Amino acid sequence: MGAIQYAASQLITLDPEFKKKLAGIDSVTQWKVEPKGPNSYTIVKNQKIESKMDAVHNKPTYTLIIKDLDTALNLFQAKIDANKAIGSAIKVIGDAAKAQKEMFILEALGKYLGDLRG
């Protein structure tokens, strides 16, 4: 997950369109991969993305609970449609509408990193 979050922060500097889409977003996403983690959170604010690994935020905008590590890896490689997975492979606690709206971040990363493992 650290690699994905690093990629998101780097994509801002590489893709102006991606950066543009982040305008106005102010949210904290808590990630939880079941059953044993990893857990981390991502802050999107002022068109910047910052992440903290192995950490739990005390007031996330929403929490995404991913059912297992395989699903998380597939999600980050765009092998699973993030929006369609909400409610099944991904549970949302908190502002679900905002979570759905911000799934474009994962989709953008999937577009760039989808074939990383060949």
**Which one, 21 or 91, has the nearer CB to other proteins?**
21
57 and 28 Cβ atoms separated by less than 8 Å:
yes
Minimum distance of other proteins from residue 16's CB (angstroms): 10
Q: How far is CA 45 from the centre of its chain?
A: 14
Minimum distance of other proteins from residue 108's CB (angstroms): 10
Q: Which of 34, 52, 77, 112 binds other proteins (CB under 8 A)?
A: 112
Minimum distance of other proteins from residue 81's CB (angstroms): 20
End-to-end CA distance of the chain: 18
Residue 11 found at the interface with other proteins (CB under 8 A): yes
Going by their DSSP bridges, the two strands 27-33 and 90-94 should be labelled as unpaired
Q: Which of 23, 58, 97, 118 binds other proteins (CB under 8 A)?
A: 118
Q: How far is CA 71 from the centre of its chain?
A: 13
Residue 84 found at the interface with other proteins (CB under 8 A): no
Going by their DSSP bridges, the two strands 27-33 and 62-66 should be labelled as parallel
CA distance 17 to 3: 21
Residue 59 found at the interface with other proteins (CB under 8 A): no
- In the structure encoding, which two tokens stand for residue 6, read together? 């690093």
Residues that bind other proteins (CB under 8 A): 2-3, 6-7, 10-11, 14-15, 73, 112-113, 116-118
